[in-house]
Structure 1
Amino acid sequence: MANSEPKTDYAEIYTALDALDASSIFHTFYDVVGFVLYMHQQIPSTVQDMAIEFEAMHSEYKELETELGTEVKPSFRRKHVSKMRDIKVGIKRLDKLMNSLLNLQTAFKIVIDEVPTIDGVVLALGASPLRPQHIYELNFSHSIGVSKGANDFARSKAAESLSRKAIRTLISKGAGSVTYPGPIRLFVLIKAPSSFNQPLHFLPKRDFRYNRKVVPLGLLFKCRNQNQEVDATASEDLIWYLSQFMTGHLVYNLVFCLDELPWCCLPNFLYFHYS
């Protein structure tokens, strides 16, 4: 990262695990993303509530569709059709958001599967990754590796505990206490070895750096039995890869870089107008 970036004051979070597995890293990351978006008023409710609402709307629509097939009275049919139309609008409104969250989950799971050690994650909120309004850093430290036998991403008790600790710490440090009206973009940067096999459709963008006056809010995750650090990967040339595309109100900005432990930017997956 650039020298112009302020030094992060990390809050340490300990886990009793010998090493963080895929489940703990994935769910902590995803829950923090959802929390940050909600606190900065970029999503209408928590991710869990939106998922429940989305599933409930689909179930209700199917029930009304079944009832409509057996209903013969015109007045009841009109009522059912009107209600189904309203539900369909709600489903369509949440569909882009839920798909974007699913895409983010898929992308991060790929990173966990392909990268032997995830050193850190940066969440940058703003109009661009160069001048974000807010920075959140999740540092997993070099000695914490993703267990190769931990490809099961089901939410475990350890993952739940670590996620809750992270959210409580963010709240205590004032996350989301200062925000700005209107939609902003979320950029997710992953610090990973240069051997990471990034997608082929990215365009190189060298010398990437952001200029930030606000001190990032950081979390440092440590295992209690942690004794020594793992040596970093040998240094390589810094190469950034950038891809940007838009679908409706949804904007993605994808940035990848390669370095000794380079920062690889995953999808900027939210840019919504709620009406």
Structure 2
Amino acid sequence: MQAIEGEGRSEMEYTEIETSADSLDSSVIFHVVTDILGFVLYMHQQIPSIFQDICVEFDTLRTEYKELEKDLAQTEEKASLRRKHAGRMRDVKREIRRLEKLMNTVSNLQTALQLMISENPNIQEIILALGATPLRPQHVYQVCFSHGKVVSKGACDFTKSKAAEALSRKAIRTMISKGAGSDSYPGPTKLFMLVKAPSSFSLPLHFLPKRDFKYSKKVVPFRLRFKCRTQNHEMDSSHYDSEAASSTKLVDSTSNDLLWFQCRHILKGLACKTSTTEE
């Protein structure tokens, strides 16, 4: 796997996560990336809880608001009770607005990622950059995939499988054990997603090409590589050794074929108040 252009060091430092599957399908890649993205935001205190809990909270708030609106229109209460009722509606509406932009951006980003994977099922590298800009991020997470056996391209099914769920849990446990997201609270910031794809890729509503993308050399990236378990481990190992050895050449030789594409949908962190002892 090639070195990242902005990384500033020659040695390859990957945390490898092995799966028993012979190949990684589109659904697994999609859910692993989105789960890692949610974990990064949560551990860097950009969101108050994990995506699944935020989705439940958002749906609950919208349901409560509709019920309050309906009750207020149908009941004849005392003025004091109606004021209290209306006050609760304002509080709920405020919370809905606070979460709405985040939820819309998450939905748009997931749609963009699904379209990207559908067009490029053998996607190999994704960068998640946390900071004011992708060129000067505070933190960088690089996710790489070794797909194993090539599978025929068909319609992509992004239903979350048990395999995807298990691999996501394994990845997050590994990241926690390696200290990912343990830095001090930096305040609300942005998360940028970049994907390496063929230069012919075109999805202008969701991605912009970044031909000469390089992030600050001062940033040390956290790298994860998902690797399929093969029958011949020695052959697989030698394959990765050759990849690391030729990484510099690969950047130059494929520069006309592979580009970084930045997702247009940028996730902005919420102002969160979390305990300093929270895991």
Identify whether the pair has TM-score above 0.5, normalized to the shorter chain: yes
CA offsets 1:197-248 (integer angstroms, 9 cap, x no match):
231797766533122223211111111127667x99x956x5xxxxxxxxxx
The range that moved more, 262-271 or 195-204, is: 195-204
State the Cα distance separating 1:147 from its structure 2 match: 5.6
Alignment pair present for 1:48 and 2:52: yes
Tell me, yes or no, if structure 1 residue 62 matches structure 2 residue 66. yes
Q: Provide Cα deviations, 1:15-64, integer angstroms capped at 9, x if missing partner.
A: 12221112111110000000001111111221111111101101111111
Are positions 1:199 and 2:196 aligned together? no
TM-score (norm 1): 0.81
Equivalent-residue separation in structure 2 for 1:146 and 1:90 (angstroms)? 45
Matching residue of 1:181: 186
Counterpart in the other structure of 2:133: 128
Distance 1:50 1:123, change over 3 A: same
Give the structure 2 partner of residue 31 of structure 1: 35
Alpha carbons of 1:267 and 1:71: their partners in 2 closer, same or farther (altered >3 Å)? same
3-state SS in 2 of match to 1:170: helix
**Aligned partners of 2:105 and 2:267 also within 8 Å:** yes
Q: 1:214 to 1:274 in 2, by over 3 A?
A: closer
Instruction: Kindly state the Cα deviation for residue 11 of structure 1 after the two structures are TM-superposed.
Output: 1.2
- The residue identity in structure 1 corresponding to 2:66 is K
Mean CA deviation greater in 60-69 or 90-99: 60-69
Number of residue pairs matched?
A: 252
TM-score under structure 2 length normalisation: 0.80
Where does residue 88 of structure 2 map in the other structure? 83
Structure 2 unaligned residues grouped into runs of 5+:
244-249, 273-279
Q: Secondary structure at the match of 2:258?
A: coil
Describe the SS at the equivalent of 1:20.
coil
- Give the equivalent residue in structure 1 for 2:173: 168
| Partner AA of 2:156 in structure 1 | N
State yes or no: 1:72 paired with 2:64. no
Letter aligned with residue 18 of structure 1: D
Matched residues, percent identical? 56
C-alpha separation in 2, matches of 1:116 and 1:146? 9
Cα deviations across residues 145-180 of structure 1 (Å, max 9, x unaligned)? Answer: 676335111111011011101101111111011144
Give yes or no for the alignment of 1:139 onto 2:136.
no
Partners of 2:214 and 2:226 in 1: CA distance: 25
Q: Secondary structure at the match of 1:9?
A: coil
Partner of 1:269: 266
Residue 12 of structure 2 corresponds to residue 15 of structure 1: no
Question: Match for 1:116 among 121, 124, 128?
Answer: 121
In structure 2, C-alpha distance between the alignment counterparts of 1:201 and 1:21, rounded to whole Å: 22
Deviation (angstroms), 1:2: 2.5
Q: Which protein has greater RCO, CA pairs closer than 8 Å, 6+ apart?
A: 2
Structure showing the higher helix proportion among its residues: 2
RMSD: 2.7
SS at match of 1:151: coil
Q: 1:144, 1:188 → 2: CA distance?
A: 27
1:210 aligns with 2:207: no
Contact 1:123–1:186, Cα closer than 8 Å, also in 2: yes
